Structure formats: C-alpha cells, structure tokens
Structure 1
Amino acid sequence: MTEIRRIHPETRYSDATVHNGTVYLAGQVPETLSGSATVQTQEVLAAIDQVLAAAGSDKSKLLTATVYLAHMADYAEMNAVWDAWLPPGCAPARACVEARMAKPEYRVEIQVIAAL
C-alpha cells in the first residue's frame, strides 16, 4: 500500500496531498483581496511555491495547472506574472477558465499537480 501524505490538513481540505510520487495541490487563492490581478497572481504563485516546497517539489516539476479567473479581461495580466514565474522549458499542460469565485474579491485561483 502506497502512503498518502497530507500537507497542512484542515477540516475541509489539505493544501496538498502527496501520493505515489505526485503532489496534488488545492486551489491557491490570494491573501490580498483588494489587489489587482497582478498582485493576486503573484501571491497565488508564491503560495504554490511554499506548498510545493513543503511537499518536497518545486515549480520546475509541474505537470498540469488549472487557472481560474473571475474575469477573462485579467488573462494578459495574469499571464505576464505566470510567464515571469515559470522556469524556461517547464511549462505544464494548462487550462484557464472564467469562473465565479468563492469570494467576490478573488480575481485568480490556481490549482496545480506536480511530480516529486
């Protein structure tokens, strides 16, 4: 039986679950609710870096990403931050969709899966 490890578990979810050499992150959201799409994307990507590090991985090992935007008008702004953050040659399979967020102040949420 393969071990399942949970990173920062809470009542409803864990920030990540590690199983069989793969890290599954929960959707990460920004701390700053009044920030621009740039600020919120920077915060979300920093949170992803922290959770991946806690799991023993990093952004160079991303397999997939799903980006949720409250408004597709923020697509270019989010992509500018994403492109600067992602190491060259490490682009994961990715989807980006417009979605209603859990809090109306959220402009971006990102969920990723990475290898260990």
Structure 2
Amino acid sequence: MSTTLIQRHGTCQRYSDSVVHAGTVYLVEIAADTTLDAAGQAASMLAGVDRLLAQAGSDRRHLLMATLYLADMADYDAVNAVWDAWLPAGCAPTRACVQARLAKPEYRVEIALTAAVAQG
C-alpha cells in the first residue's frame, strides 16, 4: 500500500500555514501587521505569500486560484492596486474577491490560494 506524501508547513493544532500535495500548494495568509490600512495589510500579506510559496517550492508565477476576503468592499480598489503591482504580467490566476466578516476586527484582508509547485 502506497502512502501519499503530504508536506505541512507551520502546522499547529488548528491549521497549517501551507500544505503541499501532488504538486500543488495550498495556503491562507493574513497581514503580519494588522495596524496598517487595507493596502498596507495587502502588501504585508502578499510578502507572507511570497515566503510561503518559496518554502513550498513555488512562486507567484505559478498561482492557480486565489480568493481574497475583504472586511469592507470599500477597500476593493486599494487592495487591487497592491495585487496588480505584485502579480507578474501574464500570470493572473482565477480569482474571487468577497466581503466577509474576518476572524478579528483588525483584519482588513485575507487570502486563500493554490499554486503549482515549480518544476526544476
């Protein structure tokens, strides 16, 4: 009987920062500094995404799907400006952006995404 290899990074009792399985990376990230406005939190969050993707053997050019959660849709344009500047040309994943009540009131933005592991 074969065992499927699952790699978990930053695992605690409740969640993992990222999980890699069958050449796909799954992750969720929030801003490291929640005192920032939505654009600042988006930039902080995407820096964390870069770190997690690198740890999993991927990068932003290999994104497959992203879901952005905003505490307030009034932040949509500001967050999109950060997202658009961060995303490499021609590498846009499928994406949804929704308003949601996030886990803590100071959170302005959260992201869930999948990416392919980069091939050698």
Q: TM-score range by the shorter chain?
A: over 0.9
Cα distance in 1, alignment partners of residues 24 and 87 from structure 2: 19
Q: After the TM superposition, which residues 1-116 of structure 1 pair with which residues of structure 2 at under 5 Å, given as runs?
A: 1-25=3-27, 27-116=28-117
Supply the distance in 1 between the matched residues of 2:43 and 2:114 (Cα, whole angstroms).
Answer: 18
Aligned-residue RMSD, C-alpha: 0.7
How much has 1:2 moved relative to structure 2?
Answer: 2.5
Q: Choose 1 or 2 for highest CA Rg.
A: 2
Matched residue SS, 2:29: coil
SS of the residue corresponding to residue 14 of structure 1 reads coil
C-alpha separation in 1, matches of 2:4 and 2:90: 31
Distance 2:43 2:9 in 1: 21
Q: Extract unaligned runs of 5+ from structure 1.
A: none
| In 1, Cα distance between equivalents of 2:9 and 2:34 | 24
Please list the CA deviations of residues 85-110 of structure 1 after superposition, one character each: whole Å capped at 9, or x if unmatched. Answer: 00000000000000001000110001
- State the TM-score, normalized to the length of structure 2: 0.93
Helix, strand or coil: the match of 1:97? strand
Q: Percent identity?
A: 57
Query: How many residues are aligned here?
Result: 115
The 4+ residue runs of structure 1 with deviation greater than 4 A are: none
Q: Distance in 1 between matches of 2:104 and 2:58?
A: 29
- The one-character-per-residue Cα deviations of 1:1-49 (angstroms, maximum 9, x if unpaired) are 3311101111111111100000011x21112222111100000000000
